[in-house]
Amino acid sequence: MKILKLSKHWLVLIALVVGVGVGLLIQQTDAQARIPVKMAEVSGTAQVQDTGGVKGVQIGDKVLQLGGKDVGDFTAWESLLAGQSPGGTLNLTLQREGVDDFSVPVKVEMSPDSTRARWIAPFDFIASLFMKLLKMLIVPLILTSIISGVVSVGDPSALGRIGLKTMAYYFMTSLLAIVVGLAVVNVFHPGIGAELNLTSSVGEKDFGHADASDIVLDMVPENIFGSLSSNSTILQVIFFSILFGFFITKLSGPGGGLLKQLFESGFEVMMKMAEFILKFIPIAVVALIARVVGKTGMDVFEDLLVFMGCVALAIAIHFCITLPLILRFVGRINPLSWAKAMWPAIITAFSTSSSSATLPVTMRTVKESGRASDTVSSFSLPLGATVNMDGTALYECMGVIFLAQYYSGVGPNPFELTLGIQTYVVLTALLASVGAAGIPSAGLVMMITILQALKLPTEAAFLLLAVDRPLDMLRTATNVWSDTTCAAVVSRSEGATGLAGALGDERDGEKGGDAPPPGG
Ligand code: ASP
């Protein structure tokens, strides 16, 4: 059973290839079968089913004269579409008496009793099961992660000047990462016109015209038990958890310690549960990919590759420009020397896709190779592993906007991607990155919550899960890189000398200096 010894990313890569192979095989099972088509609902007057007065339908350069027949019953129509991949969308040009030609999108659907659909069913089942398991984790994971995180930060003995600087640094860098992601996704528009072949349509949306005050109001729960029972009110859960955690630290007597322990243990249990479920990712990836490829072919990957390229670009900008600039000008540290010293942590993050699993290596690397302050590292690194996720924040924002761009161009009820929505996504991406656990694919699980809050179909996130691993490796490496830069910058601001790459304190020698005591 040597295969089990392969590291997770190799397993996921193999799963991806197997999934594609299985999907292509499934596609062959009834490639020539008659594929029923269903008219997309077209708003306004262009209802295709209402064929009165429609003279002909044009697909590519072929024109079908329809006479007065019902389009849906027209067999020539169906045989014309037989070679088309189900799941795809065709633009038909209709000619109607007395009106200019007009186009309508037509969805090519698979017959539920076709051989292909029957082959896809078991993969559909596995993929849906896995997704339900992931969704099951969301509320308890966030609740326990945030409460235990806030309790440890809010602890008066831990919070001092170092605590404040660390929190400010984490907040700022995550926000900068999101801004970079937002800029890239708005410049390249990877989602506009993408052919992702997602079938579910946008739900009733109520953020289209929301202004800032609505967004804030929406974050405050009316009834926390109501909020806890839905994945789409996760911001309310986060809001409540922050307050709850903070006031735990205000308790005097044994109750505070007890609650702290309770939520910390709860978080540990949830992490273990998540790790267990996430062990099945390779199987889920086979199922997800086989399902997509079996249904709609390989076209979807072209657009996903463009999206992945955009994410990689944004991450590269944050990793190679933004954070090094902060290191250089705020921390007065040579970024290259610091990166060289941090390499073991970055590589471990990259290959495990888990900030939490990398934490011991990060601690050792920052303290021993980076020679950062002990006090600062011991406080900021464990906190950063769950709270500071620049790569994740950037990804959440880009992923949601990518899908929103896609949904803004499909269906009878397209999504309106307004400035208000973009602002909302920035805010939620920031909070979601704080709430995400430092384990593989946690960022994607959190993305489901933002999609739900925007009433966008979560099916879309499942498509991203299929290609999540390489992006997860990149964003985890960025998360850990950012944690280490924080330790360096805050150490320097506290007067530590002798850090790897520190500029301007050569005369002090390689002291490996710890900071003067925190809090002044
Ligand atoms: N895997 C990431 C981490 O551990 C979280 C994520 O999925 O974005 O930092």
**pLDDT for res 41:** 36
Cβ-in-10-Å burial (0-12, 13-18, 19+) of 213 comes to: exposed
Of the ranges 21-35, 87-101, 480-494, which one carries the lowest mean pLDDT score?
Answer: 87-101
124 token code pair: 């559909």
Backbone angles phi, psi at 159, to 5 degrees: -85, 120
CA of 347 to the centre of ligand 1 (A): 14
Q: Is the CB of 348 under 6 A from ligand 1?
A: no
401 token code pair: 């906007």
CA of 423 to the centre of ligand 1 (A): 23
The alpha carbon dihedral of 286, 290, 291, 293 has a sign of: positive
Mean pLDDT score of the chain, rounded to an integer?
77
CA of 364 to the centre of ligand 1 (A): 20
**DSSP structural state of residue 467:** T
Q: Is the CB of 291 under 6 A from ligand 1?
A: no
CA of 361 to the centre of ligand 1 (A): 16
Domains defined for the chain, CATH in brackets: 33-110 (2.30.42.10), 119-195+205-493 (1.10.3860.10)
Distance, in Å, from the CA atom of 278 to the CA atom of 139, rounded to the nearest integer, reads 16
> For residue 109, which of 29, 191, 34 has the smallest C-alpha distance?
34
CA of 352 to the centre of ligand 1 (A): 10
Q: Is the CB of 443 under 6 A from ligand 1?
A: yes
**pLDDT for res 32:** 44
Which atom of ligand 1 lies at the shortest distance from residue 389's CA? 9
Q: Per residue in 373-417, pLDDT tens? A: 888 888 788 888 878 999 999 999 999 999 999 888 776 667 778
Distance, in Å, from the CA atom of 395 to the CA atom of 478, rounded to the nearest integer, reads 11
Higher-confidence position of 433 and 152? 433
Residue 474: how many other CB atoms lie within 10 Å: 23
Answering whether pTM is above 0.85, one says no
Q: Is the CB of 440 under 6 A from ligand 1?
A: yes
Summarize the confidence of residues 64-74 as an average pLDDT: 47
Chain-centre distance for alpha carbon 381: 23
Q: Is the CB of 375 under 6 A from ligand 1?
A: no
CA dist 129 → 65, 126, 283, 324, 457 (Å): 46, 5, 11, 42, 17
Q: Per residue in 182-218, pLDDT tens? A: 999 999 988 887 777 665 556 545 544 455 566 677 7
Q: Per residue in 271-319, pLDDT tens? A: 888 888 878 878 888 888 888 788 777 777 888 899 999 999 999 999 9
